[in-house]
Chains A and B, each alone.
Chain A
Amino acid sequence: MKILVCMKQVPQKDAPLKLNDAGTWIREDVSYEVNEPDAYALEEALRQREKHKGEVVVITSGPARAQQVLREALAKGADRAIHLEDDKFVGLDAFNTAKAFAAAIKDEQFDLIFTGLQSDDYGYAQTGVILAELLGWPHATIIMQIEKNDTGIRVKRELEAGYFQFVDMPLPAVLTIQSGINKLRYATLIGIKQAKNKPLRKVALAEVQSAIAENLQKIEKLYVPQKTKKTEHIDGPPAEIAKKLVDKLRNELRVL
């Protein structure tokens, strides 16, 4: 099976974010990491390759810093990488990002494309499904298990409130992968060394420019959300905090 994994670099979970002067995006000077569900998508692709042979290709878009995500994926075992490299990719909406990816892989023939189910920055939860529609492929979202069979694949979709559903579908297909589908591996020293020699194709904005258009949605303003709730801060040394909290629990909440 030939599998493409779409990955994204996002600000680290606990990184303090600062707004840019225009109030339309964050300042770039934060620490980044791989979007967590995408790490699970990569792991699943590697496991499928171990079972069925084939190739795992990773793709991302973003400035030079985003290459780190691809290097880590290659170190974990991906065979090659594609980097749509330009600062401008960061500001694309999901529709344009998917169109840029579709243009970059037009000469490839994948059996499966995986994405994480959503990103920790925008949180659209759309790029994978849009990509499927652009390619004319079926898709399934929030996947917790993938089994290859004679006619295609059987996937386990997570539904809400603890429900699941198996879905049979033909290949090629796009799947959005849920965190927790597998256990993540670490890169080995040999893997890190080998990654340096694995192919990494850079795609300039100009190469996919004709595929993308003006964004269909626009961030007018990015801001720190206004609190709707009054929050009381409990401060002091731990023993004092404990006493104060118990006082609240007993006298205000009346749960003790």
Chain B
Amino acid sequence: MADTILVVVEQREGKLNRVSWETITAGQAIAAATGWTLEAAVVGAAAVVGEVAAKKVAKVYAIESTKLEPYTPDAFAAVLKQFLTAKQSKLVLMPHTYQVRDFVPKLATAMRRTVISDCIGFKHEGGKLVFTRQMFQGKLAADVSFAGEGPWFATFQSGAFRGDKAEAGTAAAPVETVNAEIADGVIRNQPQEVFKEAKQAVDLTQAEIIVAVGRGIKEQKNIEIAKVLAEALGGDLAASRPICDNGWLPMDRQIGSSGQTVAPKLYLALGISGAIQHIVGMKGSRTIIAVNKDSEAPIFEIADYAVVGNLFDIVPPLTEEVKKAKS
């Protein structure tokens, strides 16, 4: 029997998380390179099964239990351990979401296996499968391989593959419903309702121009110079996480995995080093201009225009030039 790849898609309240499509694209690419069979699994929420079965996958498993809602790491790890122990998948792929981060290390540990987390790609060379992941906040990359038996677990960073490239199947894939058993006492956490802190005052996802500041701004009072530039450009002011952690700008101005994901026409990054958690929130921007004094800052890896220099020297004359150009 050929080895199988299992993509575990993520859904919330009966809706597929769009990063699930990216993981299916990744699974299809690995299946094409290795000749392995690609299958998918939906944990809870049978409603999304049809959507997944329409993609080019050999089979879709609908893993069901009344105890899967609301999400708990105990329940998810328990049902997937049961399932994978029975199915013997060689490779298990998931999106690197906060939810997956919460349960997949537990699941792998319960099976005495490992997870190569937050991957951005894979290579299949000479029969060996390696996964590429960022290290040292994106300054370096590593090719990582699995030692030992499957199932091998890997998670993919948001944006690593194109979700719209997930191939459709010629016919709907067969669906098998799997009823999972979760014994009493397995679930220890009691989650409450999901909520938003305050009504998001600022919707940066619609912004065409964003001027974002990072640690390089150094002090709260210096944010003013970025604000003036944003106003001159007719854009919105945003920030990387540390700025909001410090309370220098409100949390609803934060770009990145814990904040908003944006794709403006112009993203002007001032004093932002480009930690992975920030980059996943803005790498879809059409044009990225980065100003940073550290020429090795990871932000320059994804910048269209790079200015290596002190933002305090560059931003004031830039603001003046923008004002001149607009008048």
Give A residues with C-beta under 8 Å from B: 11, 13-14, 16-17, 19, 26, 93-95, 98, 120-126, 129-130, 132-134, 138-142, 157-170, 178-180, 214-225, 227-235, 238-239, 241-243, 245-246, 248-250, 253, 255-256
Contact = CB atoms under 8 A, between A and B. Distances in A.
* Interface residues of chain A: helix, strand, loop or mixed (majority): mixed
Residue among B103, B195, B209 with the highest chain A CB neighbour number at 10 A: B195
Given A160-B98, A221-B142, A242-B321, A165 B114 contact: no
B326 A256 contact: yes
Contacts of B326: 256
Contact of B137 (A13, A165, A238): A13
B287 interface: yes
Interface in B278-315: 286-287, 289, 294, 296-297, 300-309, 313-314
A246 B305 contact: no
A229 B303 contact: yes
A19 B140 CA distance: 9
Contacts of B266: 249, 253, 255
Given A11-B136, A246-B321, 11 more contacts: A14-B273, A123-B133, A130-B109, A139-B106, A165-B192, A167-B191, A179-B242, A216-B148, A218-B144, A225-B140, A231-B304
Contact of A242 (B197, B215, B306, B314): B314
A160 B141 contact: no
B136 A26 contact: yes
B273 A125 contact: no
- Which among B109, B209, B302, B314 has the greatest number of chain A C-beta atoms within 10 A? B109
B98 A248 contact: no
A167 B190 contact: yes
A158 B258 contact: yes
B317 to A, nearest CB: 4
B118 interface: yes
Interface of B: 73-74, 77, 97-99, 101-103, 105-106, 108-110, 113-118, 130, 133-148, 188-197, 200, 208-209, 215, 233, 241-242, 244-245, 251-252, 257-261, 265-266, 273, 275-276, 286-287, 289, 294, 296-297, 300-309, 313-314, 317-318, 320-322, 324-326
Nearest to B215: A13
A129 B106 contact: yes
Contact of B325 (A130, A142, A256): A256
B302 A241 contact: no
Contacts of A222: 135, 140-142
A219 B313 CA distance: 41
Contacts of A255: 208-209, 233, 265-266
Contacts of A142: 98, 101-102, 258
Contacts of A245: 289, 305, 307, 318, 321
Contact of B110 (A133, A169, A179): A133
23 contacts: A16-B296, A17-B140, A93-B114, A125-B101, A126-B115, A130-B105, A133-B77, A138-B74, A139-B73, A141-B102, A162-B196, A167-B191, A169-B189, A218-B146, A224-B140, A225-B138, A231-B304, A231-B306, A233-B305, A234-B305, A241-B314, A242-B320, A249-B322
Given A160-B97, A231-B304, A241-B314, A223 B141 contact: yes
A178 B98 CA distance: 12
B304 A229 contact: yes
B258 A178 contact: yes
A129 B102 contact: yes
A227 B189 contact: no
B327 to A, nearest CB: 11
A98 B77 CA distance: 18
Contact of A246 (B101, B215, B260, B318): B318
Which of B139, B141, B252 counts the most A-chain CB atoms under 10 A from its CB?
A: B139
B164 to A, nearest CB: 18
B197 to A, nearest CB: 6
